[in-house]
Amino acid sequence: MQIQNFFEKDKQQLTGLQLNEKTARLATMGVLTAGITHEINQPLCAIKLNLESIIYMLQKQNIDLPFNLNIELDQIMQGMVRIEEIVKHIRNFWNYGKDDKIQNTNVKSTVEKVINLLERQIYSHGITVEYSFPEQPIFIQCASIHLEQILINLITNAINAFDKIKKKDKKIMIRAERHGSVLQIFVRDNGPGIEPKHLKNLFDPFYSSYSTTQNMGLGLAIVKYFVEHYDGNLEVDSSLNEFTEFKINFEDGGE
């Protein structure tokens, strides 16, 4: 019976991990798309603004341009408008359907599920996980798998951080608090901390304080991607050789 329960639990963990991996891949594509479209839009806007300024100044000064040059300037403008439309369609494609299965998601239950999924990693790193939740259940209006992805990436980030140091008393502390209509979730570790120079770019796609051969720095970008999708905001506080704490602010979904 114990063996059967063990295999059943192992099967549930595997199923949960597979579902989360699929969601993570989709989220990664969304983050990649957002990052690429942002990088394209910045120079595109600059080029378009400069071209519009040139055309305006030429018209204002009544400068007669060769017929072919007028046509070429018009073609450049049409090309930039076309690029803007393509970028907009790409962005809308990856935003479509993200509101599926929105529900009152129990924060405590979701945290427990995520810890269960990451149990082997946590155990193998010799980490203790501590919780703190209000007595009354608290909820967030979201797709539960999206909250799972937020927590998985934050906790995995904390686990990986411990690889950079040797420490006996490794802890990850997760707590939730309600302040009026605002629900806050904290994920804190007593790991190596983050250098101040890395903090402002921490949530950017492709940015990582680790070696680029280790990862692409997408985990925290995915967290930001989902948090902001539900109109939340994300903060980080850290002190070198002491701690790192991520704080998420959501509107409380009620019971």
Domain that holds residue 192: 103-251
Does residue 65 sit in the same domain as residue 168? no
Same domain, 111 and 211: yes
Whether 125 and 225 map to the same domain: the answer is yes
Query: From the CB of residue 213, how many other CB atoms can be counted at a distance below 10 Å?
Result: 5
Query: How many helices and strands (H and E) does the chain possess?
Result: 7, 7
* Boundary residue ending a domain (68, 95, 122): 95
Are residues 122 and 238 both part of a single domain? yes
The stretches in the chain having pLDDT less than 50 are 6-7, 96-99, 211-216
Q: Helix, strand or coil for residue 254?
A: coil
Judgement on whether residues 75 and 108 belong to the same structural domain of the protein = no
Do 125 and 199 lie in one domain? The reply is yes
Other C-beta atoms within 10 Å of 190: how many? 22
Residues 165 and 239 occupy one common structural domain: yes
Asked whether residue 114 falls in the same domain as residue 84, the answer is no
Q: Are residues 236 and 128 in the same domain?
A: yes
The domain tally of the chain equals 2
Same domain, 200 and 235: yes
Looking at the fold, whether 175 and 224 belong to one and the same domain comes out as yes
CA separation for the pair 63, 10 (Å, rounded): 76
Question: What's the pLDDT tens digit per position in 162-181?
Answer: 988 888 899 999 999 998 88
- The CATH number of whichever domain residue 227 belongs to comes to 3.30.565.10
Instruction: Clarify whether residues 151 and 25 are in a common domain.
Output: no
Distance in angstroms between the alpha carbons of the first and the last residue of the chain: 37
Q: Domain ends where: 47, 63, 95? A: 95
Q: Which of 36, 68, 95 is the last residue of a domain?
A: 95
| Residue type at 113 in one-letter notation | K
Its pTM surpasses 0.85: no
Q: Which residues contact 18 (CB under 8 A, 6 or more apart)?
A: none
